[in-house]
Amino acid sequence: MPFESLRRQHPPYVPRKGEGYMSAQQRAHFKQVLARLRDELAADIERTVHQMQDDQTVFADPNDRASQESDMALELRNRDRERKLIKKIDETILRIDAEDYGYCESCGAEIGLQRLEARPTATLCIDCKTLEELRERQVAK
């Protein structure tokens, strides 16, 4: 998962005593984290495109050809997920710029620094996210 590598590269933000929630420093921290993640994902996508172009081998054996096609399909699905994550990151950066970042889209409560460190693109507080997941499970049954 892309967020795990970020935790190793970026130490979590530690607010100073008396610092308010979503201060300019906190917004700058999360914007930097998101920009780095976006750059890493874009580089991965670019690398995959070049690798797939270089690996265009035509196999005579149908099993080898099927295996190659399966691998390419899996890689394309992963890159599509990353492309969607890049879009979500760009939307999140716009929310940071609008000073609307860090608050639950559903109830308006603070999402919390720990949750944002774990998932910087989070738009729901943990309570609203839990309720959403419960509803999804009930509908799926």
User: Residue 37 class from Cβ within 10 Å (0-12 exposed, 13-18 middle, 19+ buried)?
Assistant: buried
Can you give the pTM of this predicted structure? 0.81
pLDDT of amino acid 69: 80
* pLDDT of 30 over the 70 cut: yes
**What would the two tokens of residue 18 be?**
């008396």
Domains and CATH numbers, the chain: 2-140 (1.20.120.910)
Mean pLDDT of all residues in 16-37? 95
Asked whether residue 50 carries a pLDDT value surpassing 80, the answer given is no
At 5 the pLDDT is: 57
Residue 18's Cβ-count burial label (10 Å; 0-12, 13-18, 19+) is exposed
